[in-house]
Chain A
Amino acid sequence: MTDAHAMSQASPLCFEARGLVRTYRQGKVTVPALSGVDLAISAGEFVVIAGPSGSGKSTLLHLLGGLDRPDRGSVVFAGTDLGSCTEAERTAIRRDQLGFVFQSFNLVPVLSAYENVEYGLWLGGMARGERRRLVVRALEEVGLSERMDHRPDHLSGGERQRVALARGLVHDPIAILADEPTASLDSRTGATIVELFIRINQTRGTTFVFATHDPAIIARAPRLVRLGDGRVIDDGRGSVS
């Protein structure tokens, strides 16, 4: 049993996926993305989901984050079965309890770094003063307090991803889901970003779930879940070859 497994048994579950099946239609062809995935992730874990392209990493992340619904199976997040939630409830969960970081940063180009981070808090109806306090803290945490008035097109790739991370963590979510967060960055910047993610995981205790095939992240993963052909083929760092 690895350290990760030991921790997962000691902490309450953050995500619990059971028998996840998801297929997509491409024209007349049905493409299986996930073919029965079971996965339990404890609160505070730092989990890397690895696998080749088409293995189902992103699909699994989407289902865990309530962005998509499985054809079969269930996802329980922080004790809530996402399958039984209405769209409004899932929207509220994504807004208040989850954070997302995307490969291409996905920042709103007309908003400054500050406004991009503030946006989710504004959606939640938080008072302006409290928003400011949290946004400044989040941007300081990712080392961007000097660049908060800059728009994304005036930031480097690494800085954009820091803003995206600040946006994902500003509301102190239970978990952050990151889909290939270093894929658009050079290796050095990517490594810095990973360090940042790990530090936040350790200091805030936020659960991190990464989908990646970046060897630098895989090498540092406390827990590695490998997917192949839509199934979990390996779960645990000790099994990484």
Chain B
Amino acid sequence: MIPASIALRNLFRNRRRSILSLVIVSVGTAGLLLTVGFVRYSFEGLREAIIRGGLGHLEVAPADALEAGGAGADRPGLPPSFRDWNQVRDVIESRPNVLGAGATIQFAGVATTGDSSASFFGVAVEPDRERRIGIDLRLRGGSNLGETPPSEGEETVLLGIGLARALDAGPGDTVTLVAPTPDASLNALDLSVAGVFTTGFQDLDSRILKTHLITAQRLLGTDYVTSLVVGLTDAETADRTVADLRAELAGHSPPLSVLDWETRAPFYGQVRSLYRSIFVFLGIIVALLVALSTSNTIMMSVLERIREFGTLLAIGTSRTQLAGMVILEALWLAILGGLGGSGLGIALAALINVLEIEMPPPPAAVDPMILALAVVPADLLFAVAFMAAILTVAAIPPILRLFRLQIVEALGHV
């Protein structure tokens, strides 16, 4: 005699009602899975966009520069102060999980074509290292920076699409960059526009430009860099690598800071919090809908069997054991509905992913968003467990009714 088997048989005593309840639980489960899938895909997409958009997984920079400029991604205006970055890079790149460590300089100034001028936020990089790290460039015209450092007089620049529009410049045009040097004088350099790109964010596109590291060093008159951007083989190892590098670089003078990408991109945490709040809100609504409808079903199932429960009490079943039977029936409902909903959710997610439905660009973004969902096995377990919890709560009112049941009245129930 297996209680679970009895509970399953009891569940299907009223097939139509049980099937309706299963549909409710399944739809609720599928809804949760799709929501989780969307949130997960959005998180992963945003994370990859941030990391591959130029931040990398980690950044190593002089601590005083970070104190002055903050931990955020944009720190223009501070003179490069990382002197022995080549030696530090050797240390970092000796780690097996490091794809590469690219030196960067962040700088600010004014760009002009003669007819038009605009202030800019410049990022100077090593294109070969960027490619090794996996940092993407979304070109909108022209070509990327060359991998080898350009000779003097052959320097090139990539303009953000908004900045290019403001300057009315495009590939092949010449732009003059004017920027303050570390000794507080001004320097200027003529660069040829190699291409136009987008970061995906309108606001940034109207200010940003990218050039080769050596070009920025010539403009600013320095050998120093702002920081090293580190790419890892696996984003999940970022925390561990930060800890290891902090320990390894602890004796460095001047002190170095090692920051992970999440610290450098605080808006990721904000977006995550927002999505999580939305998900919790949706989860509460789904939980309420499922709990209310299934509680009614379980209550009906109990009320229809009042005399049977009276008999079971009469022949020596305790009320706790009766409650256990009702909970088992509720759990079956959760498991079967959860599995059905998981199947439905996976099928819908696959369909949505295949259809590549285009969504409007998110606020401040440039490109439209493709609706896609990432459902992983852990989500299925979560959904079934969540439904089990809801159904257990839904079984409480019927169980309370059983605890108040008078045996004699129950035996006389028609």
Q: Which residues of A contact B (CB under 8 A)?
A: 62, 65, 67-68, 87-88, 91-92, 94-96, 99-100, 102, 104, 106, 108-111, 115, 118-120, 122-124, 131, 167
Contact = CB atoms under 8 A, between A and B. Distances in A.
A115 B312 CA distance: 13
Contacts of A109: 13, 308
A115 B10 CA distance: 14
A120 B313 CA distance: 11
Contacts of B318: 88, 91
B308 A94 contact: no
Contact of A122 (B1, B311, B319, B407): B1
Interface in B290-325: 307-308, 311-319, 321
B408 interface: yes
A109 B408 CA distance: 20
B276 interface: no
Contact of B316 (A91, A102, A106): A91
Closest 3 CB pairs of A and B: A95-B316, A110-B9, A106-B311
Contacts of A99: 315
A135 B307 CA distance: 24
9 contacts: A67-B408, A100-B314, A106-B311, A108-B308, A109-B308, A115-B1, A118-B1, A123-B315, A167-B315
Contacts of B389: none
A65 B314 contact: yes
Secondary structure at chain A's binding surface: helix, strand, loop or mixed? Answer: helix
B375 to A, nearest CB: 36
Secondary structure at chain B's binding surface: helix, strand, loop or mixed? Answer: helix
Interface in B377-414: 406-408, 411
A94 B1 contact: no
Contact of A119 (B10, B13, B315, B319): B315
B13 A110 contact: yes
B13 A91 contact: no
Interface of B: 1, 6, 9-10, 13, 307-308, 311-319, 321, 406-408, 411
A227 to B, nearest CB: 17
Nearest to B316: A95
B308 A100 contact: no
A100 B315 contact: yes
A131 B408 CA distance: 28
Nearest to A95: B316
Contacts of B311: 100, 102, 106, 108
Nearest to B307: A106
Which of A95, A106, A109 counts the most B-chain CB atoms under 10 A from its CB? A106
Contacts of B406: 68
Contacts of A123: 315-317, 321
A118 to B, nearest CB: 6
A106 B9 CA distance: 17
B170 to A, nearest CB: 78
